[in-house]
Chains A and B, each alone.
Chain A
Amino acid sequence: GAVVSQHPSRVICKSGTSVKIECRSLDFQATTMFWYRQFPKQSLMLMATSNEGSKATYEQGVEKDKFLINHASLTLSTLTVTSAHPEDSSFYICSAIAGAGGETQYFGPGTRLLVL
Chain B
Amino acid sequence: ELKVEQNPLFLSMQEGKNYTIYCNYSTTSDRLYWYRQDPGKSLESLFVLLSNGAVKQEGRLMASLDTKARLSTLHITAAVHDLSATYFCAGLTGTASKLTFGTGTRLQVTL
Contact = CB atoms under 8 A, between A and B. Distances in A.
A109 to B, nearest CB: 5
Chain A contact residues: helix, strand, loop or mixed: strand
A103 B103 CA distance: 22
Interface residues of A, number: 24
B97 A97 contact: yes
23 contacts: A32-B97, A41-B106, A43-B101, A43-B102, A43-B103, A43-B104, A44-B101, A45-B101, A46-B98, A46-B100, A93-B42, A93-B43, A95-B99, A101-B97, A105-B97, A106-B45, A107-B35, A107-B42, A107-B43, A107-B45, A109-B42, A110-B41, A112-B40
Contacts of B98: 34, 46, 49
B31 A103 contact: yes
Interface in B48-73: 48, 50
A34 B92 CA distance: 13
Interface in A47-91: 49, 57
Interface of B: 31, 35, 40-43, 45, 48, 50, 88, 96-104, 106
Interface of A: 32, 34, 41-46, 49, 57, 93, 95, 97, 101-110, 112
A49 B104 CA distance: 22
Contact of B42 (A34, A42, A110): A110
B87 to A, nearest CB: 11
B83 to A, nearest CB: 19
A34 B100 CA distance: 12
Nearest to B30: A103
A30 B98 CA distance: 15
B5 to A, nearest CB: 11
Looking at B50, B99, B102, which has the most chain A CB atoms within 10 Å of its CB?
A: B99
